[in-house]
Amino acid sequence: MGSRMRISALAAGLLVLLPGPLAAQTLQGDTERGEALFSQCKGCHQVGPEAESRIGPHLNGIFGRQAGAISEFRYSKSMQRAGADGLTWDHDTLGAYLANPRSLVSGTRMSFRGLKDPQDLADVMAFLRSYSDNPRDIPESAPTLRADDPDLTPEVLAMQGDAEFGEYLSAECTTCHQADGSAEGIPSITNWPSEDFVMAMHAYKQSLRPHPVMQMIAGRLSDEEIAALAAYFEDLAP
């Protein structure tokens, strides 16, 4: 098993061990509460427009960043090795690290014992994402993050979308979601199953998912347009 596969498997395993529904990626983070919780991290880490690396590295742009990547900061050898092995901070790896730092990087110098409460962890990660993404207020790290399922009729779920029409409509989507399937902070929706896409967009439309920009975009789309976009992205070659 390669280094990156070992890291991913370890992070996934640690998240499964966490109590509550975070392992299933169902918790929605509260950025304001996360900011308050982050006060316990401020002794070592800074985040925001004036953030600098001091005792610990600054955390701007942490999502999508390779471990040990800030050139001016002196990382532990264990963190340097983890980065060289391919450890990149995403929802799974950062979640596992914040929950139990030494379980993911055994020789880390970070003495923090970890966030044990799943909601605390989701809130802190949502706060950190507010300084990582472009647009920076996207709360999810994976397009499969779900809240409650939307109320849809069988006719809407069975609707066959026009992929060519979906391609015409896709320009607004691809200003953030990369058509090549890359996912650096912004989740990839390329090759996303059509039903999942439809469910997610209607969840935004019905305000079941909290992201305000996505609620606005989904609210402008008809059932036919959502189905067309779903058909286009499902078969889009990265």
For the chain, give every domain's residue range.
3-129, 154-234
In 3-state terms the chain splits into helix, strand, coil percentages (rounded to 5) of 45, 0, 55
**pLDDT average, residue stretch 151-174:** 93
User: What span, in angstroms and rounded, lies between the C-alpha atoms of 69 and 80?
Assistant: 8
**pLDDT average, residue stretch 70-92:** 90
Confidence grade of residue 16 (pLDDT, cut at 50, 70, 90): very low
User: What span, in angstroms and rounded, lies between the C-alpha atoms of 158 and 212?
Assistant: 27
What is the CATH architecture of 154-234?
Answer: Orthogonal Bundle (1.10)
pTM of the predicted protein model: 0.60
Q: What angle do CA 145, 179, 199 make, to 5 degrees?
A: 35
pLDDT at 225: 97
What amino acid is encoded at 10 in this protein?
L
Q: Which residues pair with 66 in a beta bridge?
A: 88
**Phi, psi of 34, deg, nearest 5:** -65, -35
**pLDDT average, residue stretch 163-183:** 90
pLDDT at 144: 46
Q: Quick one: tokens of 91?
A: 């929802």
User: Is the four-CA dihedral 40, 41, 47, 51 of positive or negative sign?
Assistant: positive
User: Is the four-CA dihedral 80, 81, 87, 91 of positive or negative sign?
Assistant: negative
- Between 169 and 183, the more confident residue is 169
How do residues 181-226 score in pLDDT, each as one tens digit? 887 667 789 998 999 899 889 988 988 876 778 888 999 999 999 9
pLDDT at 27: 64
Query: HSE of 207 in the Cβ direction (CA atoms, 13 Å)?
Result: 0
What 3-state DSSP class applies to 88?
strand
CATH number of 3-129: 1.10.760.10
Pick from 4-13, 40-49, 127-136: least confident: 4-13
Whether 3-129 shares its CATH topology with 154-234 is answered: yes
Asked whether residue 139 carries a pLDDT value surpassing 80, the answer given is no
